Structure formats: structure tokens, C-alpha cells
Structure 1
Amino acid sequence: MQFTKFNLLVAMTLIALLSVISTSEAATKIQFGKKASGKATWFNGRDAEDVACYGILENKDVNAKDSWHIAAMRLSQFTGGVKSACFECVRVTAGSRSVIARIIDDCSSCGSGHIDLSLSAFTKLAPKSKGVVSIKYEFVRCPSSGSDLKWPKSPSVKKN
């Protein structure tokens, strides 16, 4: 009789674990050119200090500038996490307006498809007073020069 109770307990535990795993969001691979929908919000000033992507390079003294076209996304949603998404570029479109922003920070409170843009990038899409806009976005190769380059080049990793 105890063996049956034990089997039942194991089966119930496995069912509970599987339900937790199946309801959690699986990490996705960054795919260039694949369009997705979501929403954009904005940040500025002190929210741009100690950004996550420079921190993984052990360069925590970099504070983003308000004029940079940069973005934050929930980096854990991507396969490889921070290291796979940092310094990638995303084209964000709202209606007929678009901007290319570079991902340099984590937004742990952002859901899937939520991009938190610097104010300078957000205002390319909508007025600051709008606060939140519906968007389409896709990962693109970062421009290396030209008027779309509104951020510093990727830093090199510190050598010990």
C-alpha cells in the first residue's frame, strides 16, 4: 500500500512540475528580419545609468546619454540571455515612423514584445506625452556609420 501512495505522490509532483514548465515563457532565439508586434515606452536620465550590457563587459562606468537611440528589453527572454541580445539593433516602427535603436540594457519588468526606448528614440515614433505606443519591431544589423548611428560603437571586453 505504501508503494502505491509513493507512486501517486511522484506522479502528482511530476504533473505539477510539468504544468509550471509549460506555462513559463520559453527563451527565443534572436532572428534578424523577423517582424513582431509589441509596445514601446520611454526612459531617460537616471534610468540610463549603469546599463546591463556594459556591466557584463566589466565596464560599469558607462552611463548612456539621453541623445542615444538605445533600448532596453527583458534580456532573459532570449536564448543566451544578456550575452545574446546586448548591442544588437532593433528597428521599431509605429505607423509610418521608425527608428533603429541599440539594445544596451535589461528591462526585467518588460513583458515579451515590450521595448523601453530612450526618449530620443521614442520621440522619433510619437510625442513624449503619448507614453506608450503600439509597435512592430525586428532585429536588424546595426549600421556602422551614417545618420542612424546614434550610440557609441560596441566596446571591447576588458582583459584581465
Structure 2
Amino acid sequence: MQFTKFTLVVAMTLFAFLSAISTTTEAATKIQFGKKASGKATWFNGKDARDVACYGILQNKDVNAQDSWHIAAMRLSQFTGGVKNACFECLRVTAGSRSVIARIIDDCSSCSSGHVDLSLGAFLKLAPKKQGVVSIKYEFVRCPSSGSNLKWPKSPPVKKF
């Protein structure tokens, strides 16, 4: 009887451990252009963008970002290929009837899936600064390569398709 209780305790402990692991690991999703997802947006000061993940790929982690730039950070590990596939892609972020296109330049490891951390300039296109958090829909879009509304670093150039 003692052996059975011990086995039961070990089995329950193992089950609890595996359950905890499965809830904390999330399968990466493929970036799909035009597919809408729901989430939330917050804002950061663009001028505070230092040591950014996407520019690390280019061997230059320092970006002289401006608050007016339309840039974003997301938890890049949520996407298949992570940093290499999600960096420098563009998102159309929509809150109600307002939208903005922002270019992903950084990882936000503390962000949950669907959380888009926008530069202040991009966030202000959706809501007042004092709101702080806004419910959004977002989708990956091809980055525009020209026009007066481009508000992100010119390097690297956007991908031509």
C-alpha cells in the first residue's frame, strides 16, 4: 500500500509540473500578412530605445530614435523565426476608427502575446497619452517604401515584394 501512495504522489507531482510547463510555453505562430489579431497597445518613449534587438542583427544596437517615429516592440519569440523573421516588419494597428502603421524594431520580452508596445508618436495616433493602454486589432502589412507618412528609420530599407 505504501508503494501505491508513493507512486500516486510522484505521478501527481509530475502531472502538475508538466501542466505548468505546457501553460508557460506557447507555440510560435507564423507571421501572416493581412490576418487580424486582437490585443492591447501601450507606449514608450522612442528616445529611450537603446540596445534594440532588431538592430543587434545589424551589429548596431543603438538607434537614435525619436518619439515621433512610428516604431513598435513585441514579444518576438511568439513568432516562428523570432527576431530574424519579425524584425523590421510593419503592423497596422487599429483602435476604433483610428490606425497607424508602425515598424517593429525591438523585442518586448515582458509583453504578452498580442501586446504591441508603440512609440509615443504612434500611440498618439490611436489614443491620448494619458489613456496609457488601448484595446487594438493589428495585422502585419507590407511596409510602405515611400511617402510622407514614413516615420521610422531609413535603415535598413523596407523589403521589396
Q: TM-score, normalised by structure 1?
A: 0.83
Q: Where do 4+ consecutive residues of structure 1 move more than 3 Å?
A: 7-18
Letter matched to residue 144 of structure 2: P
Task: Name the counterpart of 1:96.
Answer: 97
Residue 78 (str. 1) matches residue 79 (str. 2): yes
> 1:83–1:40: structure 2 CA closer, same or farther, 3 Å change rule?
same
Matches of 1:45 and 1:70, distance apart in 2: 8
Q: How does 1:1-160 map to 2 (within 5 A)?
A: 15=15, 18-24=18-24, 25-155=26-156
CA contact (8 A) 1:100 1:148 kept: no
CA separation in 2, counterparts of 1:47 and 1:113? 22
After TM superposition, the score normalised by the length of structure 2 is 0.83
CA 1:63–1:51 in structure 2 vs 1: closer, same or farther (change >3 Å)? farther
Aligned residues: 155
- Are residues 12 and 116 of structure 1, via their aligned partners in 2, closer, same or farther at CA, if it must alter by over 3 Å? same
Alpha-carbon distance change, 20 to 42 in structure 1, aligned in 2, over 3 angstroms: same
Identical-residue share of aligned pairs (%): 87
Q: In 2 relative to 1, CA 46–125 (structure 1 residues): closer, same or farther, beyond 3 Å? A: same
Matched residue of 1:50: which SS?
A: coil
Q: Which moved more, 1:128-137 or 1:13-22?
A: 13-22
Q: Is the 8 A contact 2:103 2:143 kept in 1?
A: yes
Asked if 2 retains the 8 angstrom alpha-carbon contact of 1:90 and 1:101, the reply is: yes
Q: Which runs of 5+ in 2 are unaligned?
A: 1-6
**Which amino acid is 2:138 matched to?**
Y
CA distance in 2, matches of 1:80, 1:17: 27
